[in-house]
A and B are shown apart, each in its own frame.
Chain A
């Protein structure tokens, strides 16, 4: 089974702090994604990466950056956390699709609270 793990289930940070959210997948997937989930807004894509050191902005990249130095690890960075970044953060991975789409496998999520 594909396993996607996230470094923390719950995290509390203060406004202005730098926050690192780590995600690791063990199935050699090329694609990795970071989403945030908020009530009434569904899942919104922050950034994704289709290869090591490659990244592309999603729908809501403002206030975030990412790093992918190794294929299995994709980090989300909040340079200066703000209260409106309080959310559930979800990491996902998938194989490269050739002519068809492949499902994404999600980690358990990190509930981040910024005070």
Chain B
């Protein structure tokens, strides 16, 4: 049973435009969500997170939106840059879960120059 779903395996956008990466979850106990970015042959690196008490968190070009009623979150990258081309993983956890994360399958973002 996949508790964190990233239904689109890939996304291609033009440099300078907005990238919107979506993520859905099914476990209502999840109360903290994270996005990780991964380049080939490297480990994932933390990008941005959001607590369930918020509906938006912004860090530079990256904004994460959370819609708890829909169990949906999205990562917006504006403007997109070629260096943003990577695999993006959505992850979720519940308070008291020993920081154990449940990951989605990832979305491959390609930003075209």
Contact = CB atoms under 8 A, between A and B. Distances in A.
A100 B9 contact: no
B78 interface: no
Nearest to A105: B46
Interface residues of B, number: 27
Interface stretch (A37-45, A62-70, A72-80): A37-45
A101 B44 contact: no
Contacts of B41: 9, 108-109, 111
B49 to A, nearest CB: 7
Contacts of B71: none
B28 to A, nearest CB: 16
Interface residues of A, number: 32
B43 interface: yes
B32 A90 contact: no
Residue among B34, B43, B44 facing the most chain A CB atoms (10 A cut-off): B43
Contacts of A95: 99
Nearest to B9: A40
Given A9-B41, A104-B46, A105-B46, 14 more contacts: A31-B99, A42-B104, A43-B103, A45-B101, A97-B97, A100-B32, A100-B51, A101-B31, A101-B49, A101-B99, A102-B99, A104-B99, A106-B36, A106-B43
Interface of A: 4, 9, 31, 33, 35, 40-45, 48, 50, 58, 90, 92, 94-97, 99-109, 111
